Amino acid sequence: MSLRALLLAPPGAGKGTQGIRLAERRAVAHLATGDMLRRHVASGTDLGAEAEGYMERGELVPDHLVVSLVMHEISGPPPLSGFVLDGFPRSLVQAEAAYEWGRANDRTFHAVICLAVPDDELVRRLLDRGRADDTEETVRNRLKVYEESTEPLFDFYRGRGILIAVDGTGSIEEVGDRIDAGLSGLGV
Ligand code: ADP
């Protein structure tokens, strides 16, 4: 079976690292909206020009832009049968769009992995990393946006019985093992 999973985690929690690891282990595509958006900014596309300011401020890029970006990658034809989404959906509007697509194409998500890391640790990790949007002010705003826009997704996915809560502290291996155990628990 091709895994269709989503990683839901605050900035700095290790979504990228775990997303790549999981996609490799399951031999499915790894789709990271932050990376896709940064590629558009770097190559100067219209979408990149529109997204750039939001990213610099640590705000969400408008839903319609991100939804069409992801749909372009997964819709095919034929629709991708397996993928790990990293950084999408990040709002209820995006989650509903993804669910509609999944139902229409017989490709709803099997699992939503939520990585939990204490805020102080997140800020420390992000400031160490030093990406262009990793200044203290942007980092704090991204954490606030996560709480306001992305945390409501927990209830959406918990209600569908596919949410796996994982402790995101410890080594890459330890966190990866917890993710694998959570997926086994769901039978995927
Ligand atoms: P992080 O999780 O560390 O904030 P990402 O690379 O996932 O890093 O995202 C970087 C930025 O890209 C976000 O702050 C936001 O501006 C934009 N972005 C990424 N994914 C989405 C999305 N699904 N919806 C809206 N904006 C997004």
Say if CB 112 and CB 6 are below 8 A apart: yes
Q: Where are the alpha helices (DSSP H) in the chain?
A: 15-26, 33-42, 46-57, 63-74, 92-104, 119-129, 136-145, 152-159, 172-186
What 3-state class would DSSP assign to 137? Answer: helix
Provide residues with CB under 6 Å of ligand 1. Answer: 11-12, 33-34, 37, 54-55, 58-61, 66, 87-88, 90, 94, 142
Hunting for tokens 């595509």 — which residue is that? 29
Say if CB 185 and CB 30 are below 8 A apart: no
Ligand 1 centroid–CA 60 distance in Å is 6
Question: Which atom of ligand 1 has the smallest separation from the CA of 58?
Answer: 14
Ligand 1 centroid–CA 146 distance in Å is 10
Please name which of 35, 16, 137 lies closest in space to residue 84, comparing C-alpha atoms: 16
Q: Which two tokens stand for residue 134?
A: 């990793």
Per-residue model confidence as pLDDT tens digits over 104-153: 999 999 999 999 999 889 989 998 988 888 988 898 899 999 999 999 99
pTM for the whole thing?
Answer: 0.94
Say if CB 6 and CB 85 are below 8 A apart: yes
Ligand 1 centroid–CA 55 distance in Å is 7
CB atoms within 10 A of CB 117: 19
Ligand 1 centroid–CA 68 distance in Å is 15
Per-residue model confidence as pLDDT tens digits over 17-75: 999 999 999 999 999 999 999 999 999 999 999 999 999 999 999 999 999 999 999 99
Contacts for 100 with CB less than 8 Å, ≥ 6 apart: none
Q: Which two tokens stand for residue 105?
A: 């194409």
